[in-house]
Amino acid sequence: MRNESSTPEAVPAVPLAFPQPTSPVTARHADGTLIDRYGRHVTYLRLSVTDRCDFRCGYCMAEEMSFLPRAQVLTLEECLRVARAFVDLGVSKVRVTGGEPLVRHDVVWLLERLARLPGLRELVITTNGSQLERFAAALCTAGVRRINVSLDTLRADRFREITRVGDLAKVLRGLAAAQAAGFERLKLNTVMMRGRNDDELLGLVEFAVERGMDIAFIEEMPLGEIGHGRQTSYFSSEEALARLQTRFRLLPSTETTGGPARYWRIPDTATRVGFISPHSHNFCDSCNRVRVTARGELYPCLGNNDASQLLPLLRAHPTDDTALRTAIVRSMGIKAKGHDFGNQMDAPQVIRFMSMTGG
pLDDT digit string (tens) for 202-242?
999 999 999 999 999 999 876 545 444 556 788 999 999 99
* CA gap 126, 137 in Å, rounded: 15
pLDDT of residue 253: 94
pLDDT at residue 60 in the model: 74
pLDDT tens, position by position, 69-101: 999 999 999 999 999 999 999 999 999 999 999
Is the separation of the CB atoms in 290 and 335 below 8 Å? yes
Domains of the chain: 44-357 (3.20.20.70)
Give, as one character, the DSSP assignment of residue 94: E
| Beta-carbon contacts of residue 167 (< 8 Å; ≥ 6 apart) | 130, 156, 159, 160
Check residue 286 and give its pLDDT.
Answer: 80
pLDDT at 337: 84
pLDDT averaged per 10 residues, the chain (length 359)? 54 43 41 85 96 84 79 97 97 96 97 97 97 98 97 97 94 97 95 95 98 95 53 88 97 86 95 84 79 95 87 98 96 82 49 56
- Residue 181 has a CB neighbour count (10 Å cut-off) of 18
pLDDT at 177: 98
Q: Given this model, what pLDDT does residue 40 score?
A: 92
The DSSP secondary structure of 290-347, one letter per residue, reads EEE-TT-EEES-TTS---EE-HHHHHH-TT--HHHHHHHHHHGGG--S----TT-SSS
Cα distance between residue 228 and residue 207, in whole Å: 28
Question: Cα–Cα distances in Å, from 337 out to 14, 36, 40, 297, 333?
Answer: 21, 9, 10, 19, 10
DSSP letter, residue 103: G
In degrees rounded to 5, what are phi and psi of residue 207?
Answer: -60, -45
Which residues are CB-neighbours of 330 under 8 A, at least 6 positions away? Answer: 308
pLDDT of residue 133: 97
